[in-house]
């Protein structure tokens, strides 16, 4: 910044010094008979031009470097804030809008900081320096120039505020476009399957036209701002020239003095005109800066305690939810959990069963502290999770979701996501334990093969085994399985189930189950409905009690004798899993 200011001062001074050179050139060089004086005047002008070139280069380079650095820091700060926000924030904010702020808005700031701010400072120096030189050259004419300042400044202030407001609206409409594109591209198979290409095109077109209409209004106001400034400034210069011409003809000033004054007047006028354009750009950037500042000011719904409690070591793997009531921010009137209590002992295998919307996934979200309960307490190893650091709490869990996430990278990076400091040997061992090593080795470049965006090069079962390998590598004390086999065919399910049996050994495990055949070997089955626990027991006990679990079992096993079919299925599942583990 210091170097840029020095270069800025040098280049502005070089321009202003040219006015002195013009006066000497006309009065003493062209107006006299001394050839040496003409040569010295021309040499002086050439020297100022060289100085201007050097100063301009240094200013442009240093200010551009500063702009790139500032914007890079802003992007990092915004991204680091976003990834730490709780999932509740993303319930009401579109991903496309966030991407727009992180890319479009920061690019706009980059342009303004890297070039417009430099231009603004340069023109401000030229304006101030030009006014000083005008005073030195002709106080009388300068007084006429200064009378024009309010006429020029008022439209800048009035129209500039409108530019800022319209710029904010324009950026919001661009964010709407980004959100629509992100949503439809992520669901492109559904769009095409239902023949909605034309419909989505029309919807997108309406959003584009809305953004265009706002942008057009902004451009119109900015154009009016620039036109007003140019009109008033150069009309004023013409008036000053008229007065100065009378003084020169009357012998009160020389031709060189009038020329120098006109040069400074043009410099001042040009600076004011440029400042008005830059002011419009700055107001445009201010709208983008406000949107970025909103993200930076957004606090996570999950607060980090000022004095966090440490979790006990070694980890035991005990979890408890005690009389928990919770509402999602996007559904404040519907309780996802209500007076919910669950205790899981270290090493215990518990299955959560119930219809969709019963609150099973919500239990996982609270254990991982994606949200805090409205009432009640969530404990991990007897410590209230609200009193511990969120990352320390989450470090005790390993999650295998129903829809596994595979990043656009190779298998090494995807599995190593479970423990970033793991070496290749540990990654391969985790893949072998998850039953993923064989198919990964068969890929063109083995583990180094790019798996495609969202793992498009893998089948559903292969993605699940990548997710299981990630959890194996993490080596958590508590395992959360969100129905990891529900979307698989029979062969893939058997392979994944075998990998899960290996993973669950010796760990506290909580399983969300939509398919009852996957939970028959659980130590306890917790039946949930509408955010409450309605029954607890093993499969045989729950079948004898009847109720919701028995009804779900009969629907899935497809026979009235649900208990017998359930026992038979339990034996078959156990035999298959045991055989797969042994093999």
pLDDT at 536: 92
pLDDT tens by residue, 515-563: 666 677 788 999 999 899 999 988 888 888 888 888 888 876 654 334 4
CB-count burial class (<10 Å; 0-12, 13-18, 19+) for 112:
buried
How much is the average pLDDT of 275-280? 70
pLDDT at 87: 81
The rounded Cα 354 to chain-centroid distance in angstroms is 36
pLDDT at 88: 78
Q: What is the DSSP string of 335-364?
A: EEEEEEEEEE-TT-EEEEE-STTSSHHHHH
More confident of the two residues 132 and 413? 413
The rounded Cα 384 to chain-centroid distance in angstroms is 31
At 117, the pLDDT band (50, 70, 90 cuts) reads: confident
Torsion angle, CA of 463/466/467/473, rounded to 10 degrees? 180
Residue-wise burial string across 227-243, b where 16 or more C-beta atoms lie within 10 A, e elsewhere: ebbbebbeebbeebeee
Torsion angle, CA of 188/193/195/196, rounded to 10 degrees? -30
pLDDT at 325: 94
**CA–CA distance, 93 with 26 (Å, rounded to integer):** 66
Contact (Cβ atoms closer than 8 angstroms) between residue 271 and residue 230: no
Tokens at 534, concatenated: 């309605």
Tokens at 95, concatenated: 């991903």
Residue 425, Cβ neighbours under 10 Å: how many?
8
What is the phi-psi region of residue 288: left when phi exceeds 0, alpha when psi lies from -120 to 50, beta otherwise? alpha
If you count DSSP H runs as helices and E runs as strands, how many of each does the chain have, helices first? 21, 10
How much is the average pLDDT of 225-242? 76
The rounded Cα 240 to chain-centroid distance in angstroms is 53
pLDDT at 426: 92
More confident of the two residues 557 and 579? 557
pLDDT tens by residue, 23-42: 766 666 555 556 676 677 77
Q: What is the DSSP string of 232-260?
A: HHHHHHHHHHHHHHHHHHTTSS-HHHHHH
**CA–CA distance, 514 with 215 (Å, rounded to integer):** 50
More confident of the two residues 107 and 314? 314
Residues contacting residue 331 through CB under 8 Å, at least 6 positions apart: none
pLDDT at 562: 42
Residue 478: how many CA atoms within 13 Å on its side-chain side? 25
SS3 of residue 44 by DSSP: helix
| Residue whose structure tokens are 């999950």 | 302
**CA–CA distance, 386 with 263 (Å, rounded to integer):** 69
- In CATH, the number for domain 403-475 is 3.40.50.300
Tokens at 70, concatenated: 């500032």
Contact (Cβ atoms closer than 8 angstroms) between residue 141 and residue 243: yes
Q: Give the chain's end-to-end CA distance (angstroms, integer).
A: 67
User: Domain 315-396+479-583 class?
Assistant: alpha beta
pLDDT tens by residue, 179-223: 777 778 767 767 777 777 888 888 888 888 988 888 888 888 878
**CA–CA distance, 111 with 509 (Å, rounded to integer):** 52
pLDDT tens by residue, 400-459: 888 888 888 899 999 998 888 889 999 999 898 888 888 899 989 999 998 887 788 888
Residue 574 has pLDDT above 50, yes or no: no
pLDDT at 561: 38
**Domain 2-297 in CATH 1.20.1560.10:** yes
Q: How far is CA 562 from CA 313, 424, 426, 518, in A?
A: 44, 47, 44, 15
SS3 of residue 409 by DSSP: coil
pLDDT at 528: 92
Phi first, then psi: what are they for 524, rounded to 5°? -140, 145
**CA–CA distance, 391 with 123 (Å, rounded to integer):** 50
Contact (Cβ atoms closer than 8 angstroms) between residue 234 and residue 268: no
List the single range of 110-124, 387-401, 536-550 with lowest mean pLDDT: 110-124
At 485, the pLDDT band (50, 70, 90 cuts) reads: low
Residue 139 has pLDDT above 60, yes or no: yes
pLDDT tens by residue, 86-105: 887 877 777 777 877 777 78
How much is the average pLDDT of 270-298? 75
pLDDT at 234: 74
pLDDT at 517: 61
State the span(s) of the chain assigned CATH 1.20.1560.10: 2-297
More confident of the two residues 401 and 366? 366
Residue 312, Cβ neighbours under 10 Å: how many?
12
pLDDT at 386: 92
Task: Compute and round to an integer the Cα radius of gyration of the chain.
Answer: 36
How much is the average pLDDT of 52-68? 84
**CA–CA distance, 44 with 71 (Å, rounded to integer):** 40
Residues contacting residue 287 through CB under 8 Å, at least 6 positions apart: 164, 165, 166, 167, 168, 169, 170, 171
How much is the average pLDDT of 282-304? 79
For CA atoms 119, 120, 123, 124, the dihedral sign is negative
State the span(s) of the chain assigned CATH 3.40.50.300: 315-396+479-583, 403-475
* Closest residue by Cα to residue 18 from 43, 49, 40: 49
How much is the average pLDDT of 286-296? 80
Contact (Cβ atoms closer than 8 angstroms) between residue 105 and residue 292: yes
Contact (Cβ atoms closer than 8 angstroms) between residue 112 and residue 283: no
Supply the mean pLDDT for the chain. 80
Q: What is the DSSP string of 416-433?
A: HTT-TT--HHHHHHHHHH
**CA–CA distance, 35 with 16 (Å, rounded to integer):** 25
Tokens at 418, concatenated: 């479970």
Residue 248 has pLDDT above 90, yes or no: no
Residues contacting residue 249 through CB under 8 Å, at least 6 positions apart: none
């Amino acid at each position: 910044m210091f170097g840029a200011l020095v270069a800025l001062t040098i280049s502005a001074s070089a321009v202003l010094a040219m006015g002195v050179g013009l006066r000497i050139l006309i009065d003493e060089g062209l107006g006299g008979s001394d050839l040496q004086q003409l040569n010295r005047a021309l040499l002086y002008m050439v020297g100022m031009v060289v100085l201007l070139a050097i100063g301009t280069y240094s200013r442009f380079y240093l200010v551009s470097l500063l702009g790139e650095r500032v914007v890079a820091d802003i992007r990092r700060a915004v991204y680091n804030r976003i990834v730490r926000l709780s999932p509740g924030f993303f319930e009401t904010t579109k991903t496309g809008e966030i991407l727009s702020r992180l890319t479009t808005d920061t690019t706009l700031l980059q342009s303004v900081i890297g070039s417009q701010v430099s231009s603004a400072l340069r023109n401000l120096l030229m304006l101030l320096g030009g006014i000083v030189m005008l005073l030195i050259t002709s106080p009388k004419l300068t007084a006429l120039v200064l009378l024009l300042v309010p006429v020029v400044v008022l439209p800048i202030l009035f129209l500039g505020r409108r530019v800022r407001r319209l710029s904010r609206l324009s950026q919001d409409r661009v964010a709407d476009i980004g959100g629509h594109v992100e949503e439809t591209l992520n669901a492109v198979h559904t769009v095409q399957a239902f023949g909605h290409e034309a419909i989505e095109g029309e919807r997108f077109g309406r959003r584009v036209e809305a953004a265009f209409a706002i942008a057009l209004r902004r451009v119109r106001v900015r154009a009016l701002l620039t036109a007003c400034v140019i009109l008033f400034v150069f009309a004023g210069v013409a008036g000053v020239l008229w007065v100065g011409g009378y003084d020169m003809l009357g012998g009160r000033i020389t031709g060189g003095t009038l020329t120098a004054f006109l040069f400074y007047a043009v410099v001042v006028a040009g600076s004011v005109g440029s400042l008005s354009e830059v002011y419009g750009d700055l107001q445009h950037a201010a709208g983008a800066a406000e949107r970025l500042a909103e993200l930076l000011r957004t606090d996570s719904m999950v607060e980090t305690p000022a004095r966090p409690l440490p979790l006990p070591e070694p980890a035991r793997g005990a979890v408890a939810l005690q009389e928990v009531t919770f509402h999602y921010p996007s559904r404040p009137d519907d309780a996802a959990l209500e007076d919910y209590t669950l205790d899981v002992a270290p090493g215990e295998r518990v299955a959560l069963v119930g219809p969709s919307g019963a609150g099973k996934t919500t239990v996982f979200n609270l254990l991982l502290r994606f949200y805090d309960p409205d009432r009640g307490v969530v404990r991990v190893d007897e410590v209230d999770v609200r009193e511990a650091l969120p990352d320390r709490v989450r470090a005790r869990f390993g999650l295998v979701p129903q829809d596994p996430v595979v990043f656009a990278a190779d298998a090494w990076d995807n599995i190593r996501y479970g423990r970033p400091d793991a070496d290749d040997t540990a990654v391969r061992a985790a893949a072998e334990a998850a039953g993923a090593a064989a198919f990964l080795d068969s890929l063109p470049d083995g583990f180094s093969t790019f798996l495609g965006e969202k793992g498009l090069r893998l089948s559903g079962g292969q993605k699940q085994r990548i997710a299981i390998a990630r959890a194996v590598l993490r080596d958590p004390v508590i395992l959360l399985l969100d129905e990891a086999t529900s979307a698989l065919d029979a062969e893939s399910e058997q392979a994944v189930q075998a990998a899960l049996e290996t993973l669950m050994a010796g760990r506290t495990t909580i399983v969300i189950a939509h398919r009852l055949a996957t939970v028959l070997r659980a130590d306890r089955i917790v039946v949930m409905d509408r955010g409450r626990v309605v029954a607890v027991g093993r499969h045989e006990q729950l079948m004898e009690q009847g109720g919701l679990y028995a009804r779900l079992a009969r629907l899935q096993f497809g026979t009235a004798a649900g208990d017998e079919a359930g026992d038979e299925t339990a034996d078959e599942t156990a035999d298959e899993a045991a055989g797969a583990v042994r093999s």
